[in-house]
Amino acid sequence: MDSCNISPSTVMIHKEIFHSVGLFDESFVVCEDFDMWLRVAYRFDIGFCDDILTTKIAGHKGQLSFENKNHHLWQIKSLKKFINSRYKKEVKEKILKKGGIV
């Protein structure tokens, strides 16, 4: 949960899931994918294919989440949505860790 490890371009997902959890939260400046995938993962099981099928290029100049130094704040905002969930302990630990970074 330190970064978003789900790349939207590699996902196969039924549209009903988006109807259930919503789409990207457009109020987020960055980390809108992190937020959406947390909502999906909270409500649904996620499968993983271990085969290398794509190559993701990340961390380069111009990439919004790496250019925006406040991305940890946006991740905290997303994590706070789950502060009273069944993952309360883990969420609090992540928020404290990210708060220490900020």
58 is a domain residue:
yes
Q: According to the model, what pLDDT value does residue 86 have? A: 94
pLDDT at 64: 65
Asked whether residue 28 is domain-assigned, the answer is yes
Q: Which domain holds residue 14?
A: 8-101
Q: Answer yes or no: is 1 within a domain.
A: no
Residue 47 lies in a domain: yes
Distance CA 42, CA 36 (A): 10
Domain assignment of residue 95, yes or no? yes
The domain total for the chain is: 1
Q: How far apart are CA 96 and CA 40, in angstroms?
A: 23
31 within some domain: yes
Per-residue pLDDT of the chain (102 residues; tens, 9 = 90+): 466 778 778 889 999 999 999 999 999 988 899 999 999 999 999 998 889 888 877 766 776 656 666 888 999 999 999 999 999 999 999 999 998 888
Q: What is the predicted pLDDT for the residue at 9?
A: 80
- 3-state secondary structure string, the chain? CCCCCCCHHHCCCCHHHHHHHCCCCCCCCCCHHHHHHHHHHHHCCCCCCCCCCCCCCCCCCCCHHHHCCCHHHHHHHHHHHHCCCCCHHHHHHHHHHHHHHC
